[in-house]
Structure 1
Protein backbone atom coordinates (compact mmCIF):
# COMPACT_ATOMS: atom_id res chain seq x y z
CA UNK A 1 0.00 0.00 0.00
CA UNK A 2 1.37 3.40 -0.94
CA UNK A 3 1.69 6.33 1.43
CA UNK A 4 -1.44 8.42 1.85
CA UNK A 5 -1.50 12.12 1.11
CA UNK A 6 -0.53 14.08 4.25
CA UNK A 7 -3.93 15.77 4.71
CA UNK A 8 -5.94 12.53 4.66
CA UNK A 9 -7.43 11.39 7.97
CA UNK A 10 -5.71 8.02 7.85
CA UNK A 11 -6.61 7.18 11.45
CA UNK A 12 -10.33 7.68 10.87
CA UNK A 13 -10.16 5.79 7.59
CA UNK A 14 -8.26 2.88 9.18
CA UNK A 15 -10.81 2.67 12.01
CA UNK A 16 -13.67 2.64 9.52
CA UNK A 17 -12.08 -0.07 7.35
CA UNK A 18 -11.16 -2.25 10.33
CA UNK A 19 -14.82 -2.17 11.41
CA UNK A 20 -15.93 -3.04 7.87
CA UNK A 21 -13.50 -5.96 7.72
CA UNK A 22 -14.67 -7.21 11.13
CA UNK A 23 -18.30 -7.18 10.01
CA UNK A 24 -17.47 -8.98 6.76
CA UNK A 25 -15.54 -11.73 8.58
CA UNK A 26 -17.94 -12.00 11.53
CA UNK A 27 -19.51 -15.34 12.48
CA UNK A 28 -22.48 -14.82 10.21
CA UNK A 29 -21.12 -12.28 7.76
CA UNK A 30 -21.31 -13.05 4.05
CA UNK A 31 -17.96 -14.89 4.11
CA UNK A 32 -19.76 -17.58 6.11
CA UNK A 33 -22.24 -18.40 3.33
CA UNK A 34 -21.84 -22.05 2.26
CA UNK A 35 -24.40 -22.28 -0.56
CA UNK A 36 -27.37 -20.67 -2.22
CA UNK A 37 -30.38 -22.92 -2.89
CA UNK A 38 -33.17 -21.79 -5.19
CA UNK A 39 -36.35 -23.50 -4.04
CA UNK A 40 -38.75 -25.28 -6.39
CA UNK A 41 -42.04 -27.08 -5.89
CA UNK A 42 -40.11 -30.36 -5.49
CA UNK A 43 -38.90 -31.04 -1.91
CA UNK A 44 -35.11 -31.25 -1.73
CA UNK A 45 -32.64 -32.00 1.03
CA UNK A 46 -29.27 -30.24 1.21
CA UNK A 47 -26.10 -31.16 3.04
CA UNK A 48 -25.66 -27.83 4.88
CA UNK A 49 -29.19 -27.32 6.26
CA UNK A 50 -31.65 -29.70 7.93
CA UNK A 51 -34.97 -30.72 6.44
CA UNK A 52 -36.54 -30.99 3.01
CA UNK A 53 -37.24 -27.61 1.42
CA UNK A 54 -39.68 -26.55 -1.26
CA UNK A 55 -42.04 -23.74 -2.17
CA UNK A 56 -45.82 -23.79 -2.56
CA UNK A 57 -48.35 -21.11 -3.45
CA UNK A 58 -47.91 -19.47 -0.04
CA UNK A 59 -44.11 -19.40 0.11
CA UNK A 60 -41.20 -21.53 1.39
CA UNK A 61 -41.83 -24.70 3.39
CA UNK A 62 -39.46 -26.94 5.34
CA UNK A 63 -40.27 -30.48 6.52
CA UNK A 64 -38.03 -31.56 9.40
CA UNK A 65 -37.43 -35.18 10.32
CA UNK A 66 -38.27 -36.52 13.79
CA UNK A 67 -34.66 -36.13 14.91
CA UNK A 68 -33.10 -33.78 17.51
CA UNK A 69 -30.55 -32.78 14.85
CA UNK A 70 -33.38 -31.50 12.65
CA UNK A 71 -34.77 -28.73 14.77
CA UNK A 72 -34.81 -25.06 13.92
CA UNK A 73 -35.21 -21.89 15.91
CA UNK A 74 -37.47 -19.52 13.95
CA UNK A 75 -37.79 -16.04 15.43
CA UNK A 76 -37.02 -17.42 18.87
CA UNK A 77 -39.43 -20.39 18.75
CA UNK A 78 -38.51 -24.07 18.42
CA UNK A 79 -39.77 -25.58 15.17
CA UNK A 80 -40.20 -29.28 14.38
CA UNK A 81 -42.16 -31.14 11.71
CA UNK A 82 -43.52 -28.95 8.92
CA UNK A 83 -43.06 -25.19 9.00
CA UNK A 84 -44.48 -22.72 6.48
CA UNK A 85 -42.75 -19.36 6.19
CA UNK A 86 -45.51 -17.67 4.21
CA UNK A 87 -45.21 -14.88 1.69
CA UNK A 88 -41.76 -13.32 2.14
CA UNK A 89 -42.83 -10.19 0.23
CA UNK A 90 -45.42 -9.27 2.85
CA UNK A 91 -43.66 -10.19 6.11
CA UNK A 92 -40.36 -9.36 7.82
CA UNK A 93 -37.44 -11.66 7.02
CA UNK A 94 -37.46 -14.53 9.52
CA UNK A 95 -34.44 -15.25 11.70
CA UNK A 96 -33.77 -18.96 11.32
CA UNK A 97 -31.04 -20.66 13.37
CA UNK A 98 -29.86 -24.26 13.27
CA UNK A 99 -27.94 -25.33 16.38
CA UNK A 100 -25.38 -27.58 14.68
CA UNK A 101 -22.87 -29.36 16.91
CA UNK A 102 -20.93 -26.59 18.69
CA UNK A 103 -22.04 -23.66 16.55
CA UNK A 104 -25.07 -21.80 15.29
CA UNK A 105 -25.79 -21.78 11.56
CA UNK A 106 -28.01 -18.87 10.53
CA UNK A 107 -30.22 -19.83 7.58
CA UNK A 108 -31.31 -16.96 5.39
CA UNK A 109 -34.77 -17.61 3.93
CA UNK A 110 -35.37 -14.86 1.41
CA UNK A 111 -36.90 -13.83 -1.90
CA UNK A 112 -34.81 -12.48 -4.78
CA UNK A 113 -36.10 -11.54 -8.20
CA UNK A 114 -39.41 -13.32 -7.68
CA UNK A 115 -37.87 -16.61 -6.46
CA UNK A 116 -37.38 -17.98 -2.95
CA UNK A 117 -34.01 -19.14 -1.69
CA UNK A 118 -32.25 -20.67 1.28
CA UNK A 119 -28.72 -19.50 2.08
CA UNK A 120 -26.96 -20.86 5.20
CA UNK A 121 -24.27 -18.91 7.04
CA UNK A 122 -21.92 -21.22 8.92
CA UNK A 123 -19.07 -19.86 11.08
CA UNK A 124 -17.00 -22.87 9.95
CA UNK A 125 -17.32 -21.99 6.24
CA UNK A 126 -13.97 -22.54 4.46
CA UNK A 127 -14.07 -19.08 2.82
CA UNK A 128 -14.41 -17.40 6.21
CA UNK A 129 -11.70 -19.50 7.85
CA UNK A 130 -9.28 -18.78 4.99
CA UNK A 131 -9.94 -15.04 4.88
CA UNK A 132 -6.88 -12.83 5.42
CA UNK A 133 -8.26 -9.40 4.57
CA UNK A 134 -8.88 -7.26 1.52
CA UNK A 135 -6.17 -5.04 0.00
CA UNK A 136 -7.00 -1.38 -0.52
CA UNK A 137 -5.65 1.71 -2.18
CA UNK A 138 -4.13 4.16 0.29
CA UNK A 139 -6.66 6.86 1.23
CA UNK A 140 -6.02 9.89 -0.99
CA UNK A 141 -7.76 13.27 -0.85
CA UNK A 142 -7.94 13.38 -4.63
CA UNK A 143 -10.82 10.89 -4.46
CA UNK A 144 -12.82 12.78 -1.83
CA UNK A 145 -14.91 15.23 -3.85
CA UNK A 146 -17.58 17.80 -3.13
CA UNK A 147 -20.88 16.99 -4.86
CA UNK A 148 -24.28 18.48 -5.54
CA UNK A 149 -27.36 16.28 -5.19
CA UNK A 150 -30.18 16.88 -7.66
CA UNK A 151 -33.31 15.32 -6.25
CA UNK A 152 -36.02 13.81 -8.44
CA UNK A 153 -39.54 15.12 -7.87
CA UNK A 154 -40.48 11.53 -6.99
CA UNK A 155 -38.23 8.48 -6.45
CA UNK A 156 -37.79 6.45 -9.63
CA UNK A 157 -37.79 2.65 -9.79
CA UNK A 158 -34.58 1.59 -11.52
CA UNK A 159 -34.06 -2.02 -12.63
CA UNK A 160 -30.51 -3.35 -12.77
CA UNK A 161 -29.03 -6.71 -13.64
CA UNK A 162 -27.35 -9.20 -11.33
CA UNK A 163 -24.37 -11.53 -11.24
CA UNK A 164 -27.01 -14.28 -11.41
CA UNK A 165 -28.18 -14.72 -15.01
CA UNK A 166 -31.81 -13.73 -15.43
CA UNK A 167 -32.11 -12.12 -11.99
CA UNK A 168 -32.94 -8.42 -11.68
CA UNK A 169 -32.96 -5.97 -8.79
CA UNK A 170 -35.15 -2.91 -8.45
CA UNK A 171 -33.92 0.13 -6.49
CA UNK A 172 -35.52 3.46 -5.64
CA UNK A 173 -33.40 6.23 -7.17
CA UNK A 174 -33.72 9.56 -5.33
CA UNK A 175 -31.72 11.70 -7.72
CA UNK A 176 -28.26 12.30 -9.13
CA UNK A 177 -24.92 13.32 -7.65
CA UNK A 178 -22.89 15.78 -9.73
CA UNK A 179 -19.18 16.31 -9.09
CA UNK A 180 -15.85 16.84 -10.80
CA UNK A 181 -13.16 14.19 -10.98
CA UNK A 182 -10.92 14.63 -14.00
CA UNK A 183 -13.98 16.16 -15.63
CA UNK A 184 -17.69 16.45 -14.80
CA UNK A 185 -19.26 13.22 -13.51
CA UNK A 186 -22.75 12.06 -12.54
CA UNK A 187 -23.92 9.16 -10.39
CA UNK A 188 -27.46 7.88 -9.92
CA UNK A 189 -28.10 7.73 -6.17
CA UNK A 190 -30.39 5.22 -4.45
CA UNK A 191 -32.00 5.26 -1.03
CA UNK A 192 -29.54 4.57 1.77
CA UNK A 193 -29.86 4.37 5.54
CA UNK A 194 -32.09 7.16 6.82
CA UNK A 195 -31.45 10.25 4.71
CA UNK A 196 -28.13 8.94 3.40
CA UNK A 197 -27.60 7.91 -0.22
CA UNK A 198 -26.32 4.66 -1.66
CA UNK A 199 -24.36 4.23 -4.88
CA UNK A 200 -23.36 1.25 -7.05
CA UNK A 201 -20.62 2.02 -9.56
CA UNK A 202 -17.90 0.70 -11.83
CA UNK A 203 -14.95 2.54 -13.37
CA UNK A 204 -11.81 1.98 -15.43
CA UNK A 205 -10.21 -0.08 -12.66
CA UNK A 206 -13.14 -2.54 -12.52
CA UNK A 207 -12.09 -6.20 -13.11
CA UNK A 208 -8.49 -4.97 -13.45
CA UNK A 209 -7.47 -3.95 -9.93
CA UNK A 210 -10.95 -3.70 -8.39
CA UNK A 211 -14.09 -5.84 -8.41
CA UNK A 212 -16.70 -5.56 -11.18
CA UNK A 213 -19.02 -3.50 -8.99
CA UNK A 214 -18.31 -1.50 -5.89
CA UNK A 215 -20.63 0.21 -3.46
CA UNK A 216 -20.45 3.48 -1.60
CA UNK A 217 -22.50 5.22 1.08
CA UNK A 218 -22.86 8.99 0.73
CA UNK A 219 -23.89 11.25 3.59
CA UNK A 220 -27.25 13.00 3.53
CA UNK A 221 -27.18 16.18 1.44
CA UNK A 222 -27.77 19.49 3.22
CA UNK A 223 -30.67 21.84 2.42
CA UNK A 224 -28.80 23.09 -0.65
CA UNK A 225 -28.03 19.58 -1.90
CA UNK A 226 -24.38 19.71 -0.94
CA UNK A 227 -22.61 16.53 0.16
CA UNK A 228 -19.31 14.72 -0.24
CA UNK A 229 -18.48 11.60 -2.23
CA UNK A 230 -15.62 9.74 -0.55
CA UNK A 231 -14.38 7.05 -2.92
CA UNK A 232 -11.71 6.02 -0.41
CA UNK A 233 -14.56 4.20 1.34
CA UNK A 234 -15.72 2.27 -1.72
CA UNK A 235 -16.21 -1.37 -0.80
CA UNK A 236 -16.61 -4.71 -2.53
CA UNK A 237 -19.91 -6.52 -2.80
CA UNK A 238 -20.22 -10.14 -1.59
CA UNK A 239 -19.81 -11.49 -5.14
CA UNK A 240 -16.13 -10.51 -4.98
CA UNK A 241 -15.67 -13.27 -2.40
CA UNK A 242 -18.31 -15.94 -2.91
CA UNK A 243 -20.25 -17.49 -5.80
CA UNK A 244 -23.28 -17.73 -3.50
CA UNK A 245 -24.29 -14.08 -3.96
CA UNK A 246 -26.97 -12.25 -5.94
CA UNK A 247 -25.16 -8.91 -6.21
CA UNK A 248 -26.63 -6.19 -8.39
CA UNK A 249 -24.75 -4.66 -11.31
CA UNK A 250 -24.40 -0.88 -11.55
CA UNK A 251 -26.90 1.03 -13.67
CA UNK A 252 -25.56 2.27 -17.00
CA UNK A 253 -25.42 5.83 -15.62
CA UNK A 254 -22.91 4.74 -12.96
CA UNK A 255 -20.22 3.29 -15.22
CA UNK A 256 -17.62 6.01 -14.78
CA UNK A 257 -15.08 6.67 -17.52
CA UNK A 258 -12.31 7.44 -15.04
CA UNK A 259 -9.96 5.31 -12.93
CA UNK A 260 -11.11 5.41 -9.29
CA UNK A 261 -7.88 4.27 -7.66
CA UNK A 262 -9.41 4.40 -4.19
CA UNK A 263 -11.17 2.10 -1.78
CA UNK A 264 -11.09 -1.67 -1.75
CA UNK A 265 -9.24 -3.67 -4.41
CA UNK A 266 -9.71 -7.19 -5.73
CA UNK A 267 -9.32 -9.78 -2.99
CA UNK A 268 -5.90 -11.39 -3.33
CA UNK A 269 -4.72 -14.97 -2.73
CA UNK A 270 -5.81 -16.06 0.72
CA UNK A 271 -8.53 -13.38 0.95
CA UNK A 272 -11.19 -15.89 -0.05
CA UNK A 273 -9.64 -18.92 -1.71
Structure 2
Protein backbone atom coordinates (compact mmCIF):
# COMPACT_ATOMS: atom_id res chain seq x y z
CA UNK A 1 0.00 0.00 0.00
CA UNK A 2 1.28 3.45 -0.85
CA UNK A 3 2.14 5.61 2.12
CA UNK A 4 -0.40 8.43 2.23
CA UNK A 5 2.40 10.87 2.98
CA UNK A 6 4.04 10.09 -0.38
CA UNK A 7 0.88 10.46 -2.45
CA UNK A 8 0.83 13.49 -4.68
CA UNK A 9 -1.80 16.12 -4.07
CA UNK A 10 -4.01 16.47 -7.17
CA UNK A 11 -3.27 19.59 -9.18
CA UNK A 12 -5.70 22.46 -8.75
CA UNK A 13 -7.59 23.76 -11.81
CA UNK A 14 -5.39 26.84 -11.68
CA UNK A 15 -2.23 24.70 -11.79
CA UNK A 16 -3.58 22.63 -14.68
CA UNK A 17 -4.39 25.82 -16.58
CA UNK A 18 -0.93 27.28 -15.87
CA UNK A 19 0.68 24.19 -17.41
CA UNK A 20 -1.64 24.46 -20.42
CA UNK A 21 -0.61 28.08 -20.99
CA UNK A 22 3.08 27.27 -20.53
CA UNK A 23 2.82 24.62 -23.27
CA UNK A 24 1.03 27.13 -25.50
CA UNK A 25 3.76 29.75 -25.09
CA UNK A 26 6.42 27.15 -25.79
CA UNK A 27 4.63 25.92 -28.92
CA UNK A 28 4.33 29.30 -30.67
CA UNK A 29 8.11 29.93 -30.64
CA UNK A 30 9.04 26.58 -32.20
CA UNK A 31 10.64 26.55 -35.69
CA UNK A 32 7.20 25.78 -37.12
CA UNK A 33 5.25 27.59 -34.42
CA UNK A 34 2.78 30.36 -35.21
CA UNK A 35 5.33 33.15 -34.58
CA UNK A 36 7.75 31.59 -37.08
CA UNK A 37 5.49 31.96 -40.13
CA UNK A 38 6.73 34.93 -42.16
CA UNK A 39 5.13 34.38 -45.55
CA UNK A 40 2.24 32.65 -47.29
CA UNK A 41 2.49 33.54 -50.96
CA UNK A 42 -0.05 32.24 -53.45
CA UNK A 43 1.56 31.38 -56.78
CA UNK A 44 -0.72 31.64 -59.81
CA UNK A 45 2.00 32.49 -62.34
CA UNK A 46 5.79 32.45 -62.55
CA UNK A 47 7.16 34.86 -59.95
CA UNK A 48 9.77 35.57 -57.31
CA UNK A 49 8.79 35.58 -53.65
CA UNK A 50 9.89 38.19 -51.14
CA UNK A 51 12.49 36.98 -48.67
CA UNK A 52 13.49 33.74 -50.39
CA UNK A 53 15.48 32.93 -53.55
CA UNK A 54 14.32 31.19 -56.70
CA UNK A 55 11.60 31.63 -59.28
CA UNK A 56 8.35 29.89 -58.38
CA UNK A 57 5.57 28.74 -60.70
CA UNK A 58 2.50 26.48 -60.84
CA UNK A 59 3.15 22.97 -62.09
CA UNK A 60 2.33 22.56 -65.78
CA UNK A 61 1.48 18.85 -65.46
CA UNK A 62 -1.51 19.45 -63.16
CA UNK A 63 0.16 17.77 -60.20
CA UNK A 64 0.20 18.89 -56.59
CA UNK A 65 2.47 21.77 -55.66
CA UNK A 66 4.79 24.20 -57.43
CA UNK A 67 8.08 24.27 -59.28
CA UNK A 68 11.13 26.29 -58.28
CA UNK A 69 13.95 27.32 -60.58
CA UNK A 70 17.25 28.27 -58.98
CA UNK A 71 21.01 27.92 -59.24
CA UNK A 72 23.18 26.04 -56.78
CA UNK A 73 24.40 29.40 -55.47
CA UNK A 74 20.87 30.13 -54.20
CA UNK A 75 21.28 27.30 -51.70
CA UNK A 76 17.73 25.92 -51.95
CA UNK A 77 17.31 22.28 -51.01
CA UNK A 78 14.14 20.36 -51.89
CA UNK A 79 13.78 17.03 -50.11
CA UNK A 80 17.47 17.20 -49.25
CA UNK A 81 18.69 17.80 -52.81
CA UNK A 82 20.40 21.06 -53.82
CA UNK A 83 18.42 22.73 -56.61
CA UNK A 84 20.43 23.62 -59.71
CA UNK A 85 17.81 24.03 -62.40
CA UNK A 86 14.09 23.34 -61.92
CA UNK A 87 12.67 21.14 -59.16
CA UNK A 88 9.17 20.03 -58.22
CA UNK A 89 7.93 20.97 -54.75
CA UNK A 90 4.98 18.70 -53.93
CA UNK A 91 2.18 20.18 -51.83
CA UNK A 92 0.97 19.09 -48.41
CA UNK A 93 -2.02 17.47 -50.11
CA UNK A 94 0.32 15.00 -51.85
CA UNK A 95 0.97 11.55 -50.38
CA UNK A 96 4.66 12.50 -50.18
CA UNK A 97 4.86 16.28 -49.60
CA UNK A 98 8.13 18.09 -50.16
CA UNK A 99 10.21 19.96 -47.62
CA UNK A 100 12.18 23.05 -48.64
CA UNK A 101 15.24 24.38 -46.80
CA UNK A 102 16.57 27.86 -47.57
CA UNK A 103 19.08 28.21 -44.72
CA UNK A 104 19.85 26.92 -41.23
CA UNK A 105 16.83 28.80 -39.85
CA UNK A 106 14.48 29.31 -42.83
CA UNK A 107 12.39 26.51 -44.31
CA UNK A 108 9.14 26.06 -46.15
CA UNK A 109 6.49 23.88 -47.73
CA UNK A 110 3.64 24.25 -50.20
CA UNK A 111 -0.04 24.21 -49.25
CA UNK A 112 -3.18 23.84 -51.35
CA UNK A 113 -5.30 26.98 -51.40
CA UNK A 114 -9.06 27.36 -51.54
CA UNK A 115 -9.95 27.37 -55.23
CA UNK A 116 -7.27 24.96 -56.40
CA UNK A 117 -4.11 27.08 -56.46
CA UNK A 118 -0.99 26.56 -54.32
CA UNK A 119 1.02 28.77 -52.00
CA UNK A 120 4.50 28.70 -50.51
CA UNK A 121 4.71 28.99 -46.74
CA UNK A 122 7.99 30.25 -45.30
CA UNK A 123 9.05 29.70 -41.69
CA UNK A 124 11.91 31.44 -39.90
CA UNK A 125 13.07 29.95 -36.60
CA UNK A 126 14.66 33.31 -35.77
CA UNK A 127 11.85 35.58 -36.95
CA UNK A 128 11.42 39.11 -35.61
CA UNK A 129 8.17 37.98 -33.98
CA UNK A 130 9.93 35.21 -32.05
CA UNK A 131 12.65 37.59 -30.91
CA UNK A 132 10.09 40.20 -29.78
CA UNK A 133 7.64 37.78 -28.15
CA UNK A 134 6.98 38.29 -24.47
CA UNK A 135 3.88 36.31 -23.49
CA UNK A 136 0.32 35.35 -24.25
CA UNK A 137 -1.88 37.48 -22.01
CA UNK A 138 -4.70 35.52 -20.38
CA UNK A 139 -7.65 35.93 -18.07
CA UNK A 140 -7.44 34.40 -14.61
CA UNK A 141 -9.08 31.01 -14.18
CA UNK A 142 -12.84 31.49 -14.34
CA UNK A 143 -14.99 28.52 -13.23
CA UNK A 144 -18.12 30.32 -14.46
CA UNK A 145 -17.08 29.53 -18.03
CA UNK A 146 -16.77 25.77 -17.69
CA UNK A 147 -20.03 24.77 -19.33
CA UNK A 148 -21.68 21.38 -19.70
CA UNK A 149 -23.34 21.05 -23.11
CA UNK A 150 -25.07 18.48 -25.30
CA UNK A 151 -23.79 17.23 -28.65
CA UNK A 152 -26.46 16.18 -31.16
CA UNK A 153 -25.20 14.62 -34.43
CA UNK A 154 -26.28 16.31 -37.65
CA UNK A 155 -27.41 14.48 -40.78
CA UNK A 156 -24.35 13.32 -42.71
CA UNK A 157 -22.98 16.00 -45.01
CA UNK A 158 -24.37 18.99 -43.10
CA UNK A 159 -22.21 22.02 -43.91
CA UNK A 160 -21.90 25.66 -42.94
CA UNK A 161 -20.07 28.44 -44.77
CA UNK A 162 -17.24 30.09 -42.82
CA UNK A 163 -15.76 33.40 -43.89
CA UNK A 164 -11.97 33.71 -43.65
CA UNK A 165 -9.99 36.80 -42.78
CA UNK A 166 -8.47 37.24 -46.25
CA UNK A 167 -11.23 35.84 -48.47
CA UNK A 168 -13.06 39.12 -49.17
CA UNK A 169 -16.39 37.93 -47.79
CA UNK A 170 -16.46 34.60 -49.60
CA UNK A 171 -17.24 31.51 -47.55
CA UNK A 172 -15.77 28.02 -47.37
CA UNK A 173 -18.13 25.17 -46.56
CA UNK A 174 -17.10 23.11 -43.55
CA UNK A 175 -18.77 19.86 -42.51
CA UNK A 176 -20.55 20.34 -39.16
CA UNK A 177 -20.78 16.91 -37.47
CA UNK A 178 -23.33 18.04 -34.89
CA UNK A 179 -24.82 20.87 -32.88
CA UNK A 180 -23.50 21.90 -29.47
CA UNK A 181 -26.28 23.24 -27.26
CA UNK A 182 -26.43 24.63 -23.74
CA UNK A 183 -28.17 27.27 -21.67
CA UNK A 184 -26.41 29.85 -19.53
CA UNK A 185 -27.89 32.73 -17.56
CA UNK A 186 -31.24 32.24 -19.26
CA UNK A 187 -29.86 32.26 -22.81
CA UNK A 188 -29.95 29.23 -25.13
CA UNK A 189 -26.93 28.64 -27.37
CA UNK A 190 -26.52 26.42 -30.43
CA UNK A 191 -22.89 26.46 -31.58
CA UNK A 192 -21.37 25.19 -34.82
CA UNK A 193 -18.03 23.35 -34.80
CA UNK A 194 -16.04 21.61 -37.52
CA UNK A 195 -13.56 18.75 -37.36
CA UNK A 196 -9.94 19.57 -36.52
CA UNK A 197 -7.90 16.40 -36.15
CA UNK A 198 -9.57 14.31 -33.46
CA UNK A 199 -11.34 17.31 -31.93
CA UNK A 200 -14.11 19.70 -32.86
CA UNK A 201 -13.12 23.32 -33.35
CA UNK A 202 -15.40 26.13 -32.22
CA UNK A 203 -14.56 29.53 -33.74
CA UNK A 204 -16.23 32.16 -31.57
CA UNK A 205 -16.34 35.84 -30.71
CA UNK A 206 -17.83 37.58 -27.69
CA UNK A 207 -18.24 41.01 -26.14
CA UNK A 208 -14.51 41.14 -25.29
CA UNK A 209 -13.46 40.70 -28.95
CA UNK A 210 -11.68 43.83 -30.14
CA UNK A 211 -11.67 45.21 -26.61
CA UNK A 212 -9.73 43.11 -24.12
CA UNK A 213 -9.21 40.17 -26.51
CA UNK A 214 -8.08 39.70 -30.12
CA UNK A 215 -10.57 41.28 -32.51
CA UNK A 216 -11.06 38.38 -34.94
CA UNK A 217 -12.14 35.93 -32.23
CA UNK A 218 -10.79 32.83 -30.52
CA UNK A 219 -10.78 29.05 -30.90
CA UNK A 220 -11.95 26.33 -28.52
CA UNK A 221 -11.19 22.66 -29.17
CA UNK A 222 -13.59 20.14 -27.65
CA UNK A 223 -14.53 16.46 -27.87
CA UNK A 224 -17.98 14.95 -27.22
CA UNK A 225 -18.28 11.94 -24.95
CA UNK A 226 -19.97 8.72 -26.10
CA UNK A 227 -23.09 9.64 -24.10
CA UNK A 228 -23.52 12.89 -26.05
CA UNK A 229 -22.33 15.25 -23.33
CA UNK A 230 -19.51 17.70 -23.93
CA UNK A 231 -17.57 20.07 -21.68
CA UNK A 232 -16.78 23.56 -22.96
CA UNK A 233 -13.94 24.92 -20.83
CA UNK A 234 -13.49 28.45 -22.13
CA UNK A 235 -10.45 28.81 -19.86
CA UNK A 236 -8.72 26.85 -22.64
CA UNK A 237 -9.89 29.20 -25.39
CA UNK A 238 -6.87 30.05 -27.54
CA UNK A 239 -5.92 32.80 -29.93
CA UNK A 240 -6.07 31.88 -33.62
CA UNK A 241 -2.81 31.64 -35.59
CA UNK A 242 -3.53 34.98 -37.30
CA UNK A 243 -3.09 36.66 -33.90
CA UNK A 244 0.58 35.67 -34.15
CA UNK A 245 1.31 36.19 -37.87
CA UNK A 246 -0.39 38.10 -40.68
CA UNK A 247 0.63 35.23 -42.98
CA UNK A 248 -2.20 33.04 -41.66
CA UNK A 249 -5.75 33.19 -43.04
CA UNK A 250 -8.07 32.30 -40.17
CA UNK A 251 -11.75 31.29 -40.17
CA UNK A 252 -14.10 33.84 -38.65
CA UNK A 253 -16.98 33.12 -36.26
CA UNK A 254 -20.34 32.38 -37.87
CA UNK A 255 -23.39 34.23 -36.59
CA UNK A 256 -24.47 31.55 -34.09
CA UNK A 257 -20.99 31.54 -32.50
CA UNK A 258 -21.02 35.27 -31.70
CA UNK A 259 -21.81 35.77 -28.02
CA UNK A 260 -23.28 39.10 -26.94
CA UNK A 261 -21.88 38.64 -23.42
CA UNK A 262 -18.21 38.86 -22.39
CA UNK A 263 -16.39 35.55 -21.98
CA UNK A 264 -13.66 36.54 -19.55
CA UNK A 265 -11.73 33.29 -19.74
CA UNK A 266 -8.89 31.99 -21.88
CA UNK A 267 -6.27 33.80 -23.93
CA UNK A 268 -6.53 37.53 -24.61
CA UNK A 269 -3.71 38.90 -26.79
CA UNK A 270 -0.10 38.35 -27.84
CA UNK A 271 2.30 40.68 -26.02
CA UNK A 272 5.84 41.82 -26.77
CA UNK A 273 8.69 41.73 -24.27
CA UNK A 274 7.80 45.35 -23.47
CA UNK A 275 4.21 44.37 -22.68
CA UNK A 276 2.67 46.01 -25.77
CA UNK A 277 0.49 44.24 -28.33
CA UNK A 278 2.82 42.28 -30.61
CA UNK A 279 0.38 42.06 -33.50
Output the TM-score relative to the length of structure 1. 0.86
Report the alpha carbon displacement of residue 11 of structure 1 after superposing the two structures with TM. Answer: 0.8
Could you say if the C-alpha distance between residues 123 and 175 of structure 1 is closer, same or farther in structure 2, counting changes exceeding 3 Å?
same
Cα-Cα RMSD: 2.3
Aligned to 2:107: 106
What does the per-residue CA deviation read over 1:73-118, in whole Å, with 9 as the maximum and x for residues that have no partner?
32x55554212245x4852472423141xx2322131122123111
Report the alpha carbon displacement of residue 68 of structure 1 after superposing the two structures with TM. Answer: 4.1
Report the alpha carbon displacement of residue 237 of structure 1 after superposing the two structures with TM. Answer: 0.7
Residues 148 and 178 in structure 1, CA contact (< 8 A), matched pair in contact too: yes
What does the per-residue CA deviation read over 1:3-38, in whole Å, with 9 as the maximum and x for residues that have no partner?
xxxx96111111111111111111221211122212
Residues 212 and 268 in structure 2, CA contact (< 8 A), matched pair in contact too: yes
Could you say if the C-alpha distance between residues 36 and 47 of structure 1 is closer, same or farther in structure 2, counting changes exceeding 3 Å?
same
Secondary structure, aligned partner of 1:262: coil
| 167-176 or 22-31: bigger deviation | 167-176
CA distance in 2, matches of 1:243, 1:98: 22
Could you say if the C-alpha distance between residues 60 and 190 of structure 1 is closer, same or farther in structure 2, counting changes exceeding 3 Å?
closer
CA distance in 1, matches of 2:144, 2:38: 39
Report the alpha carbon displacement of residue 145 of structure 1 after superposing the two structures with TM. Answer: 0.7
1:66 and 2:68 matched: no
Report the alpha carbon displacement of residue 176 of structure 1 after superposing the two structures with TM. Answer: 1.0
Pairing partner for 1:158 from 133, 154, 160? 160
Aligned to 1:54: 57
Report the alpha carbon displacement of residue 181 of structure 1 after superposing the two structures with TM. Answer: 2.5
Aligned to 1:261: 264
Aligned to 2:252: 249
Aligned pair count reads 260
What does the per-residue CA deviation read over 1:55-76, in whole Å, with 9 as the maximum and x for residues that have no partner?
14425433332224332132x5
Residues 64 and 71 in structure 1, CA contact (< 8 A), matched pair in contact too: no
Aligned to 1:187: 191
Report the alpha carbon displacement of residue 158 of structure 1 after superposing the two structures with TM. Answer: 2.1
Aligned to 2:88: 84
> Tell me, which stretches of 5 or more residues in structure 1 are unaligned?
1-6
> Tell me, which stretches of 5 or more residues in structure 2 are unaligned?
1-10
Residues 78 and 89 in structure 2, CA contact (< 8 A), matched pair in contact too: no
What does the per-residue CA deviation read over 1:101-139, in whole Å, with 9 as the maximum and x for residues that have no partner?
xx2322131122123111200112111110111100011
Residues 204 and 257 in structure 1, CA contact (< 8 A), matched pair in contact too: yes
